[in-house]
Amino acid sequence: MKRLTLLFVVILTIFCSCSTKQYLLKSTDQDLSQIKRILIVNNDFSNIIPVGIYPSYENIDDFVTKKDSAISDIPELVCVELLKRQINCEIAYEHSEINNETYYIEYQDYWAWDFKKYMHVLKMKLYKNGIEIKTVASQGNGAGMHDYPTPEKQIPLLIDLLLKK
């Protein structure tokens, strides 16, 4: 019985330590429940970090070794999630498309390699009138054990966190 309990604890520890986490990094008291439209500012590049390094979302920019063409269709995935929440969405390809009354999201994705390419960190910032309203991030485990986070898995969770009171 003790061996079975120990095995259960070890398995639980491994699986819990592998999970990707979502963080609320910045928030204002603004009520976001009445948002009807959000623009997503397209980002043409993804940041790449070295193999075997698992930096925090706080200092990940210090570890970027190169920028590649966008790896994922993040704007489209964000729009799908917003539409599920009855919020209209468009992709903006230049900041000139944004007026002062428009909410918009900027994002940055960070990718690494571990048997396959995975998204280590995704940061999303919600703005209006050029003022940052809310910032959220998802991050794979920093200990090297991770669940191969992807935009498809993380964007729904981040949108929920971004729009939550």
Q: How far is CA 13 from CA 6, 9, 16, 78, 95, in A?
A: 10, 6, 5, 32, 45
pLDDT reported for residue 142: 64
Domain of residue 122 covers 19-163
pLDDT reported for residue 145: 55
Range with lowest mean pLDDT among 7-21, 68-82, 114-128: 7-21
Q: How confident is the prediction for the chain on average, in pLDDT?
A: 87
pLDDT tens column, 87-140: 999 999 987 778 878 999 999 999 998 778 889 999 999 999 889 999 999 998
Report if residue 125 sits inside a domain: yes
Report if residue 1 sits inside a domain: no
User: Taking residues 79-85, what's their average pLDDT?
Assistant: 98
- Report the candidate in 161, 163, 165 with the shortest Cα–Cα distance to residue 35: 163
Domain count, the chain: 1
pTM score, two decimals?
Answer: 0.85
pLDDT exceeds 90 at position 13: no
Q: How far is CA 20 from CA 55, 106, 117, in A?
A: 13, 21, 15
Report if residue 12 sits inside a domain: no
Element housing 66 (H / E): strand 66-69
User: Taking residues 67-84, what's their average pLDDT?
Assistant: 96
